[in-house]
C-alpha cells in the first residue's frame, strides 16, 4: 500500500491542525510536522478554489529551496464559500457568532486545496463539499461557541462537533474535507505521484 511505496520518502506536513495530523496517522503515513510562518493573504479578484490553490502554493514556497530528493511537502488550505465570498477563521467569539448566523438555514461550500511539493515537481488538487444547515437559533449558536470554542476553524464550526450533530441536514461530497482534509484526494494524488517517482 501507499505507506510501503513511500517508505523511503520523508513526508513533511506543513500544518498545525490536529485534525490533519490525525488524518495522516489514520492513513498509516509516517510524517513529520514542519511549520513555516506565512501571511495568508491572496489577491482580492480570486474566487473559490482559486483562493485555496493560491494559498497552498504560497504555503509551500518557504520549503522549496531546502528540499532533498526524497522529500514530499504537503500544504493544505480550506475556506468556506457562501454568497460569493470566502469565510475564513473567526477573529473572536462575536465574529464566530456572525459567521454561524450567516450559515444558518443555507447551503455553503467547503473548499480545500492540497499542494504536494517535491524537489522536481509540484501538484495542486482541490475538492468542494456542499453542506446544508437547518435554521439555528441564537441560543444554539451561543451554546456551541461557549462550549466548543471554534475559533481555529474556517466558518467557525466543526462538522464533527455538537453543531454538526444537531444542525447539519445534508452533505454532498467528502465528509473528511469538511473536518479538515479530503483524505481520499490526498491518497489518490500521493499514489499518482508515487507512480512517477
Spatial distance between the Cα atoms of 162 and 180, rounded to a whole number of angstroms = 16
Q: Residue 21's pLDDT is what?
A: 96
Q: Residue 93's pLDDT is what?
A: 97
Q: Residue 139's pLDDT is what?
A: 98
Spatial distance between the Cα atoms of 93 and 127, rounded to a whole number of angstroms = 28
| Spans of the chain, pLDDT less than 70 | none
Q: Residue 2's pLDDT is what?
A: 84
User: Has this prediction a pTM greater than 0.75?
Assistant: yes
Spatial distance between the Cα atoms of 163 and 157, rounded to a whole number of angstroms = 7
Structural domain of 58 = 2-196
- Of residues 10, 3, 64, the one with CA closest to residue 32: 10
Residue 46 CB-density burial (10 A; 0-12 exposed, 13-18 middle, 19+ buried): middle
Q: Residue 194's pLDDT is what?
A: 83
Mean pLDDT of the chain: 95
Q: Residue 90's pLDDT is what?
A: 96
> Annotated catalytic sites, by residue?
77
Q: Residue 72's pLDDT is what?
A: 97
Percent of the chain with pLDDT over 90: 89
For the chain, state the CA radius of gyration: 17
| CATH number of the CATH domain containing 192 | 3.90.950.10
Q: Residue 119's pLDDT is what?
A: 94
Q: What is the count of structural domains for the chain?
A: 1
Amino acid at each position: 500500500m501507499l505507506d510501503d511505496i513511500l517508505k523511503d520518502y520523508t513526508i513533511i506536513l506543513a500544518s498545525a491542525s490536529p485534525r490533519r495530523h490525525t488524518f495522516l496517522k489514520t492513513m498509516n503515513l509516517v510524517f513529520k510536522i514542519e511549520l513555516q510562518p506565512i501571511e495568508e493573504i491572496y489577491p482580492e479578484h480570486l474566487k473559490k478554489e482559486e483562493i485555496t490553490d493560491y494559498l497552498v502554493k504560497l504555503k509551500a514556497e518557504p520549503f522549496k529551496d531546502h528540499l532533498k530528493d526524497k522529500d514530499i511537502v504537503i500544504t493544505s488550505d480550506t475556506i468556506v464559500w457562501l454568497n460569493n465570498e470566502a469565510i475564513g477563521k473567526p477573529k473572536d467569539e462575536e465574529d464566530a457568532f456572525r459567521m454561524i448566523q450567516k450559515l444558518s438555514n443555507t447551503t455553503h461550500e467547503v473548499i480545500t486545496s492540497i499542494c504536494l511539493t517535491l524537489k522536481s515537481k509540484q501538484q495542486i488538487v482541490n475538492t468542494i463539499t456542499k453542506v446544508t444547515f437547518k435554521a439555528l437559533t441564537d441560543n444554539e449558536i451561543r451554546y456551541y461557541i461557549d462550549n466548543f470554542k471554534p475559533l481555529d476553524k474556517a466558518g467557525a464550526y466543526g462538522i464533527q462537533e455538537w453543531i454538526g450533530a444537531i444542525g447539519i441536514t445534508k452533505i454532498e461530497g467528502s465528509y473528511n474535507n469538511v473536518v479538515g482534509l479530503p483524505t481520499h484526494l490526498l491518497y489518490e494524488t500521493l499514489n499518482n505521484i508515487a507512480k512517477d517517482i
